[in-house]
Structure 1
């Protein structure tokens, strides 16, 4: 088989494996990586490099592998945009954690978010307590968005996002 075609197929297989592995094992926020996450990313990239290029260590082999990864990512994003089933398969839905000051403990348990973590997110947005939150949403990227209530008339006045320190727990397929 042509060496560059071999690199293309290997790279595509590794990309698809990584997409589904991240979906199954959880997502990390790039801005919130801890030492263990960095080590894991370095080891994974080293481990899959040989799987993608095989014996071809040429510049062309590396460029083809990189190109395949970019194209595969571009195509996946287009499919996710156009097809709700694929989007749901790859990415979870946002979850409402607080609505009109009422904390949904069931959702928090499902998402494995502690009360302390939610309270920390609320405080980081300048809100003292959950009763003052109109809406707190766990976004698909692991951030917690908070909209606070206007104490004078009950309408929302403040919106901010909290970067999670911990990865989202996986949603099993």
Structure 2
């Protein structure tokens, strides 16, 4: 029974674990929000490797040399607390939301790529064209407006189709055998 109590005891003062978690949380938040690029809704192998390595390095910095579940719970509660608080604050206050989430960026306007934004976000024309194809758009010229959203997704607004451009729809067929309506 003493071993179980030792497992849940605290080796470090809770304030130290809260401080470690807070410093690492805010450091990573600033790095991910302001220094790293938004991708176009995908995560490549290099991105995944980066996240794993950051998690490992941050884990070591936050943990120190703690060995008990109690220390780990204090640290996890700190990270969860900051995450919840920032979500709540960004929901309640527009200023906090603007600071934490990058604004949507226009990457195509009137059928032409906005090269300044593409360069800043490090998105190639091939990547952009691939994302457009995933949404059924064959040509950049068919796009009235495309925005890179804060989550990396691409919102695409096409020009309205004219009636003479529209493909005729096939005649209606009934799902009942023998019905020829």
TM class by shorter chain equals 0.7 to 0.9
Any conservation in 1 of the 2:38–2:121 contact (CA below 8 Å)?
no
What is the CA RMSD across the aligned residues, in angstroms? 2.5
Separation in 1, partners of 2:37, 2:122: 14
Please show how residues 93-108 of structure 1 align to structure 2 within 5 Å.
93-108=103-118
Q: Does 1:40 align with 2:50?
A: yes
| Deviates further, 118-127 or 58-67 | 118-127
Larger-Rg structure:
2
Separation in 2, partners of 1:39, 1:74: 26
SS of aligned partner of 1:134? strand
Q: Which residue pairs with 1:123 in the alignment?
A: 133
More contact order relative to length (CA 8 Å, sep ≥ 6): 1
Q: Which residue pairs with 1:171 in the alignment?
A: none
Any conservation in 2 of the 1:3–1:56 contact (CA below 8 Å)?
no
Separation in 2, partners of 1:145, 1:20: 26
Q: Which residue pairs with 1:24 in the alignment?
A: 34
Separation in 2, partners of 1:24, 1:34: 20
Q: Deviations over 1:109-131 (max 9, x none)?
A: 34332222222222221112122
Match of 1:60 among 58, 70, 75: 70
Runs of 4 or more, structure 1, over 4 Å off, are none
State the Cα distance separating 1:28 from its structure 2 match. 6.1
Separation in 2, partners of 1:32, 1:13: 28
State the Cα distance separating 1:39 from its structure 2 match. 2.6
Q: Deviations over 1:119-149 (max 9, x none)?
A: 2222221112122113211111122121223
Separation in 2, partners of 1:107, 1:38: 24
State the Cα distance separating 1:27 from its structure 2 match. 5.0
Any conservation in 1 of the 2:21–2:78 contact (CA below 8 Å)?
yes
| Deviates further, 17-26 or 83-92 | 83-92
Any conservation in 2 of the 1:136–1:145 contact (CA below 8 Å)?
yes
SS of aligned partner of 2:144? strand
How many matched pairs?
A: 152
TM-score, length basis structure 1: 0.74
TM-score, length basis structure 2: 0.71
SS of aligned partner of 1:33? coil
Q: Does 1:74 align with 2:84?
A: yes
